[in-house]
A and B are shown apart, each in its own frame.
Chain A
Amino acid sequence: MLIYIVKRLLVAVPTLLAVLTVVFFFVRIAPGDPTFIILGDQASQQAIAAVHHELGLDRPMLVQYLDFMSTVLQGDLGNSLVTHRPIWNEVANVLPYTIELTLSALFIGVVLGLPLGIAAARHRNETLDYAARIFSLLGLSFPAFVSAIMLLLAFAIELHWFPVISEARTGDPLSRVSALVLPAVNLGLIMVAYVMRVARSSMLGVLGEDYIRTARSKGVPARVVIWRHALGNALIPVVTVVGLYLGVLIGNSVLTEIVFNRPGLGKLIVNSLNQRDYTMLEGLMVIYAFIIVIVNLLTDLTYGLVDPRVRQR
Chain B
Amino acid sequence: MSAVAAASARGAWAHLASGIRRHKMASFGAGIVVLVALSALLAPWLAPHDPLEQDVLLRLAQPTADFPLGNDSFGRDILSRILWGGRVSLYVSTLAVLIAIIVGGALGILAGYIGGLFDRIVMAAMDVLLSFPTLVMGLLVVAMLGPTVGNLILAITLTAVAPFARIARAPTLAVKERDFVEAGRALGFSNLRLMVVHILPNVVDDILVMAALWLATAIRTEASLSFIGLGVRPPTATWGGMIREGFENILDSPWLAIFPSLAILVVMFGLNMLGDGLRDTSDPRLRHE
Contact = CB atoms under 8 A, between A and B. Distances in A.
Interface of A: 14-15, 18-19, 22, 26-27, 30-32, 125, 137-138, 140-146, 149-150, 152-153, 157, 205, 208, 246-248, 250-252, 254-255, 258-259, 269-270, 273, 281, 284-285, 288-289, 292-293, 296
Nearest to B262: A146
Q: Closest 7 A-B residue pairs measured CB to CB?
A: A251-B135, A30-B144, A141-B268, A250-B133, A247-B133, A141-B269, A146-B261
A250 B136 contact: yes
B243 interface: yes
Given A146-B261, A146-B265, A292-B132, A141 B216 contact: yes
B144 A251 contact: no
Given A250-B135, A273-B139, A18 B128 contact: yes
B124 interface: yes
Interface string B143-164: 1111000000000000000000
Nearest to B276: A137
Contact of A145 (B139, B143, B227): B227
A153 B289 CA distance: 39
Interface of B: 124-125, 127-128, 130-136, 139-140, 143-146, 216, 220, 223-224, 227-228, 230, 243, 247, 250-251, 254, 257-258, 261, 264-265, 268-269, 272-273, 276, 285, 289
A150 B135 CA distance: 21
User: Which of A141, A246, A250, A269: most chain B CB closer than 10 A?
Assistant: A141
Contact of B243 (A14, A149, A152, A205): A149
A172 to B, nearest CB: 25
A208 B284 CA distance: 14
Contact of A143 (B144, B145, B223, B254): B223
B127 A15 contact: yes
A290 to B, nearest CB: 9
A72 to B, nearest CB: 15
Contacts of A19: 128, 131-132
Contacts of A31: 144-146
Given A285-B136, A289-B132, A145 B243 contact: yes
B264 A157 contact: no
B250 A146 contact: no
A255 B227 contact: yes
A86 B7 CA distance: 61
A243 B3 CA distance: 43
Nearest to B222: A143
A146 B269 contact: no
A205 B285 contact: yes
Contacts of B132: 19, 247, 285, 288-289, 292
A299 to B, nearest CB: 12
Given A22-B128, A288-B133, 9 more contacts: A19-B128, A19-B132, A30-B144, A31-B145, A146-B264, A150-B261, A157-B251, A251-B135, A269-B136
B171 to A, nearest CB: 19
B254 A153 contact: yes
Contact of B136 (A14, A26, A153, A254): A254
Given A141-B272, A251-B135, A285 B140 contact: yes
26 contacts: A15-B124, A15-B131, A19-B128, A26-B144, A31-B144, A137-B273, A141-B265, A143-B264, A143-B268, A145-B227, A146-B223, A149-B243, A153-B254, A157-B251, A208-B285, A247-B134, A251-B224, A255-B135, A255-B224, A269-B136, A273-B139, A273-B143, A285-B132, A285-B136, A288-B132, A292-B132
